[in-house]
Amino acid sequence: MRIPVSIFVAAVLAHAPVHAEDNQIQRGPVPDWVVPSDLMPVPGDASGMFFVRRQDAVIHLDEQGQAQYFGYRIRILHPNALQIGNVSTAWNPASGPPVVHLVKVHRGDETIDVLEKTSFDILRREDQLEAAKLDGVLTAVLRVPDLRVGDELEVGLTTRSSDPTLGTNDSGLLFLAASPAPGRYRLGLSWDKGLKPTVRMTPDMTAIGVSRDGGIDFRFDNPALLTPPKDAPARYQWQRIVEYTDFADWATISRLFAPLYAKAAAIADGSSLDKEAQRIAAGHAKPLDRANAALKLVQQDVRYIYVGLGSGNLTPATAEETWQRRYGDCKGKTALLLGLLGKLGIDAEAVLANNSGADDGLDERLPNPGMFDHVLVRAKIDGAAYWLDGTLPPVVPSAATPAIPYRWVLPVTAKGGALQKLDWRMASKPNEITLYEIDARAGFDRPARVTNTTIVRGIPGLQQQVELSGLTADQLRDGMRQQLVGGTWDSVDDVKWRYDQKAEASILTITGKWTVDWDDDGDGDKSYALPGGGFSPPEKRGRAADQNQDLPYYSAPEFDCRVTTLRLPAKTNAANWSFKSGYDTRIFGKNHYRAFDLRDGSIRMVRGLRVEQPEIDAVSARRDNGRIAGFDNSMAWVSYKPDVAKPIDPDGKVVPATYEIDWTADTVPCLSPATMR
């Protein structure tokens, strides 16, 4: 459970092989709850990398948890497929060792038992340490020797998974990939007597599911390639999937975790943590200030490392333990923050969420704790709800909305919280503003002095904050100079960066010189396309005939603003300058806006794009398809004609220059005034 952007310092450990017997990889027969599929004949015209004669993936539920059998026999058809001879499996030692049933190579009439002379190398490693993740997972690798094109590789093994936090409650998913290779596939779910879970299938799986005593199977021969409905919201991409769960509802999951967080958040009177809470209380009178001080302590003084060792995958480390070792994952940081808030007399709860963006349609899923990958805190202060995330950088205070726009969350409460929908809100401030001030007063034939500022909010802004905050001014300037000079930039004179906590934005400013790419239109006429001023025409929304034509269409939320100020050559007359027309157009749920102004010896341009409807219905999409031809996708051309003078339009739009207002303010003129009200 962690923030989904890589904002941590990377580290590398060498892979250290250890002896198999130390980690108890076992040999054994295929479990009695598995009946391998019959082999599918290889067609004479088989093509591609390989042909799957059989592939069985079966999950079995018993009193110890879940066992996963995976077995296959594959004909190798192409040299590039020989890499499947690197057989690997991963497991958590806390759940028990894997059992290898067989690794064989079939070559004509000959069968070679690979395990007679070759064994697995077990790697004791943390393969996600660069993502600050310690999960204790081991990986075993066997490299099949002398594998050839035309051989058939057969493998069978079983691994187990269990989590002490969940006890005997099992849940999970079975699915077939969207683009499988030709061949025979079987998915299976089975259970011991009395352990039948609740099962839900997508319609495509319901049509082929075959129930049997103690299980259900799904068989595919040369399964069709799966094409999800184009541009549909994520919940409609849910296809060829089987869900299963022992949880009665989402509230059951909430009640399961509530005592774990209550216990982990306990802070002993007189402990060092208790003294930290007393220090915060003494230094801050208002509850919200106290909450933010506690949050900053957790963010700044406890580094993020995911800890999934032992029972730590779902059970939070205690507040005291996390504080003592000064590192923790989202679970440990949440427990620590809950403990501090409790000591400060602030009511708060843990909330489960999904940072990957895979929570669209979560209310249509079976209850499954695996649907969440993050936990944070929601506090009630002065009658209002505030979100606090201890895994974010220490520049992020509590807020009325989470930093990530979750669709569904699950409050962790003793009574059992219900799945809760968080309404989407249209952005009131741009996610990114790009400002260009191009000072061409020296003339058409001289380089222009340029100031380029980017204002970035949200997770990308926080990622930038982490990446840049540790650099010295010289490192930042020299790094940007090496990256930029030689392209548009002739020189980079200075680079400045800061994170504005009030504006919740990362602000990067680069100053230097450009050679402005003036178009020479003859007779002294000049023209130039202002950077950031054009829009690409929107793509037509449509789907293949075999897809559902009535599903809605999705656009990822964004609010982007580009602002350019061109200081005109000093020897020119403003009346000889002109620019393209502006526009204010809404199409496919997006607002496209552009406006120009000519004042005080400069042409000012602002261009804004905001998604105002992430989902539009099919009828609206078809209507807007007919409007694409009339969409103005022209670039932001400005023109100088020394023989043509036009009076300044006194009723034209007023566009501020890049240097005239504070573009980090809560309200900036990136869209029409009527829209921004």
Find out whether 524 and 577 touch, Cβ atoms under 8 Å.
no
Together in a domain, 414 and 555: no
Residues 279, 138 share a domain:
no
pLDDT at 616: 97
Residue 625 near residue 557, CB atoms below 8 Å: no
Is 639 a domain residue? Answer: yes
Ordered DSSP codes for 114-159 = GGGT--PEEEE--TTGGGTEE---EEEEEE-TT--TT-EEEEEEEE
Q: Is residue 301 domain-resident?
A: yes
pLDDT in tens, 293-318: 999 999 999 999 877 655 447 899 99
Report, as an integer, the average pLDDT of 653-676. 92
Short-list 67, 274, 280, 76, CA closest to 161: 67
Q: How much is the average pLDDT of 541-545?
A: 94
User: Which residue segment(s) compose the domain that 299 sits in?
Assistant: 250-421
Bridge partners, residue 607, by sequence: 562, 594
pLDDT above 80 for 23: no
Question: What confidence score (pLDDT) does residue 307 get?
Answer: 72
> Of 342, 334, 267, 272, nearest to 306 (Cα)?
334
Beta strand 374-381 pairing with 432-439: unpaired
Chain Cα centroid distance, residue 43: 41
Show the tokens assigned to 293: 């001080």
Residue 6 confidence (pLDDT) above 80? no
Nearest to 548 by CA among 81, 312, 232, 270: 232
Q: Is residue 461 part of a domain?
A: no
Q: Specify the amino acid at residue 154.
A: E
Same domain, 25 and 77: yes
**Does the structure show a pLDDT above 60 at 634?**
yes
Confidence class for position 206, pLDDT limits 50, 70, 90: very high
pLDDT of residue 98: 94
For residues 524-544, give the mean pLDDT: 93
Task: Return the biggest CA–CA distance within the chain.
Answer: 92
Whether 488 maps to a domain, the answer reads no
Q: Which range has the worst mean pLDDT, 106-120, 301-315, 560-574? A: 301-315
How far are the Cα atoms of 26, 220, 381, 478 from residue 420, in angstroms, in the given order? 45, 37, 20, 48
Q: What is the DSSP string of 196-208?
A: PPEEEE-HHHHTT
Q: Are residues 396 and 276 in the same domain?
A: yes
Q: d(Cα 313, Cα 359) in Å, to the nearest integer?
A: 20
* CATH code: domain of residue 255: 3.10.620.30
Q: What was the pLDDT predicted at 172?
A: 95
Query: What are 544's two structure tokens?
Result: 């293949």
Residues 222 and 282 in one domain: no
* pLDDT for residue 647: 74
The three-class DSSP label of residue 596 is: strand
Last residue of a domain, one of 188, 222, 245: 245
The arithmetic mean of pLDDT across residues 656-666, rounded, is 96
The domain boundary, picked from 215, 245, 275, lies at 245
Is there a single domain that holds both residue 641 and residue 561? Answer: yes
Pair 626, 570: CB distance under 8 Å: no
Number of domains, the chain: 3
pLDDT number for residue 134? 59
Separation between Cα atoms, residue 73 and residue 51, nearest integer Å: 9
Q: Summarize pLDDT for 159-195 with one digit per residue, the tens.
A: 998 888 888 899 999 999 989 999 999 999 999 999 9
Q: What is the predicted pLDDT for the residue at 133?
A: 56
Could you tell me if residue 467 is inside a domain? Answer: no
Specify the pLDDT at position 165: 87
d(CA 610, CA 432): 11
What is the domain-level CATH number for residue 102?
2.60.40.3140
CA distance 606 to 653: 11
**pLDDT reported for residue 306:** 78
Q: What is the pLDDT of residues 364-377, one digit of tens each?
A: 999 999 999 999 99
What integer pLDDT is reported at residue 175 of this predicted model?
Answer: 94
pLDDT more than 70, % of the chain: 93
- Give the end of a domain, one of 245, 280, 310: 245
3-state secondary structure 509-522: EEEEEECCCCEEEE
Inside any domain, residue 464? no
Residue-level pLDDT at 76: 97
Same domain, 360 and 343: yes
- Cα–Cα distance, 631 to 335 (Å, whole number): 52
Q: Is residue 539 part of a domain?
A: yes
Confidence of residue 11 (pLDDT cuts 50, 70, 90): very low
**DSSP code string of 439-474:** E-TT-TTSPEEEEEEEEEEHHHHHHHHHHHTTS-HH
Answer whether residue 13 shows pLDDT above 80: no
Q: What is the pLDDT at residue 651?
A: 61
Mean predicted confidence (pLDDT) in 86-90: 92
Tell me, yes or no, whether 156 and 267 share the same domain.
no
> Which pLDDT value is given to residue 3?
29
Question: How much of the chain exceeds pLDDT 90, in percent?
Answer: 83
10 Å CB burial of residue 89 (0-12, 13-18, 19+) is: buried
Please check whether residues 362 and 282 belong to one and the same domain.
Answer: yes
What separation in angstroms does the CA of 660 have from each of 565, 604, 653, 655? 10, 11, 15, 10
Radius of gyration of the chain (CA): 30
Residues in a beta bridge with 491 = 513
Task: Tell me, yes or no, whether 6 lies in a domain.
Answer: no
Rounded Cα distance, 135 and 185, in Å: 31
Are both 406 and 442 inside the same structural domain?
A: no
pLDDT digits (tens, 9 = 90+) for 579-623: 988 889 999 999 999 999 999 999 999 999 999 999 999 999 999
Give the CA distances from residue 309 to residues 9, 164, 193, in Å, rounded to whole numbers and listed in that order: 21, 12, 31
| Token pair 């027969």 in the structure block, residue | 29
Between these two residues, 675 and 367, which has the higher pLDDT value? 367
Per-residue pLDDT at 20 exceeds 60: no
139 shares a domain with 158: yes
623 and 630 Cβ atoms separated by less than 8 Å: no
Q: What is the DSSP letter of 485?
A: B
Indicate whether 206 and 95 sit together in one domain: yes
At residue 50, the 3 state secondary structure works out as strand
Q: What is the pLDDT of residues 492-533, one digit of tens each?
A: 999 999 999 999 999 999 999 999 999 998 889 999 999 999
Sheet holding 347-353, edge to edge: 384-388, 374-381, 347-353, 408-412, 420-421
Look up the pTM and report it.
Answer: 0.90
**Per-residue tokens: 371:** 């649907």
Q: Which of 272-276, 451-455, 642-646 has the lowest mean pLDDT?
A: 642-646
